[in-house]
Structure 1
Amino acid sequence: MEDARGMAGSDNFTMLPLNRRVKIVTSDSKMEETLQSLKSSKAPAVINYGASWCRICSQILPSFCQLSNEFPNISFVYADIDECPETTQNIRYTPTFRFFRDGERVDEMYGAGEERLRDRLWLHS
């Protein structure tokens, strides 16, 4: 598992605190593996679909990492849509947060907002 420090080769993400709670998905094959893992898991999860060129994505990402520590029972995943073009082709807005429970997508949130995201995470924890 990669941490947020080495993510996507983008300068936007190199300054993030080291966080081993956020799984970074860097290819379509890893995204497929992650989605399969979510399907077999009973734990709640959230995937943050973003892009290195998206200013709003880079603004919410440190909060996303911090929230992963506040909600240890939720699996946190970050996927850059440019690194996973096949498996993220249905993502229309960045950032998009998808919430999973028992392997099924149960909710979706578009855009950033730390309080909105925290409220959604609380709801799904």
Structure 2
Amino acid sequence: MEGGVVSSESEGSSKKGLVCSDTGLNSAVNPHGNLKSASSDKIFNDLLFQIRSSKTPAVINYGASWCRMCSQIIPGFCQLSNEFPKLTFIYADIDECPETTQHIRYTPTFHFFRDGELVDEMFGGGEERLHDRLWLHSS
């Protein structure tokens, strides 16, 4: 992905893990494969379809490479994906997915899905707040 926030090891591959880099330093690869990046509207639509059809609990992080708060939460988002392997984690850059994210008015915004349905929303950062919401939606 542009901006160095989240990049995939293999473009378009949903089976590979993502490497999170907040300041140019790479952190550990997500071993669970539950962290994915939507770098286009088509990829994002495909990921949404997977969430809705598999009914796997999921969280979508809507962010932007120019957003300072988004850049600050991304390393924690990546670490939390390792802590909650039963959840699907998706990062969607609003500039790379303009059609499918046009309803997002604040970054970062987090959407939580359960049984294929949107059940919760969180605005802004705060790793502890995000952790608590993830814990709530993973049980």
TM-score by length of 2: 0.81
User: What is the number of residues matched between the two proteins?
Assistant: 121
Give the match for residue 32 of structure 1. 45
Q: CA separation in 2, counterparts of 1:88 and 1:13?
A: 25
Q: CA separation in 1, counterparts of 2:85 and 2:17?
A: 16
**Stretches of structure 1 lacking an aligned partner (at least 5 in a row):** none
CA 1:13/1:23 → structure 2, altered by over 3 Å: closer, same or farther?
A: farther
Does 2:117 match 1:104? yes
**Offset at 1:41?**
1.2
CA 1:21/1:39 → structure 2, altered by over 3 Å: closer, same or farther?
A: closer
Q: CA separation in 1, counterparts of 2:108 and 2:18?
A: 16
Give the match for residue 69 of structure 2. 56
Q: CA separation in 2, counterparts of 1:13 and 1:107?
A: 30
Using the aligned pairs only, state the percent identity: 64
Does 2:48 match 1:42? no
**Offset at 1:12?**
4.5
Three-state SS of the structure 2 residue aligned to 1:92 is: coil
1:24·1:78 contact (CA, 8 Å) conserved in 2? yes
1:98·1:105 contact (CA, 8 Å) conserved in 2? yes
2:22·2:72 contact (CA, 8 Å) conserved in 1? no
1:99·1:108 contact (CA, 8 Å) conserved in 2? yes
Give the match for residue 15 of structure 1. 25
Q: CA separation in 1, counterparts of 2:22 and 2:77?
A: 14
1:42·1:102 contact (CA, 8 Å) conserved in 2? yes
Provide runs of 4+ in structure 1 moved above 2 Å.
Answer: 1-5, 11-16, 18-21
1:4·1:16 contact (CA, 8 Å) conserved in 2? no
2:39·2:96 contact (CA, 8 Å) conserved in 1? yes
Q: CA separation in 1, counterparts of 2:136 and 2:26?
A: 26
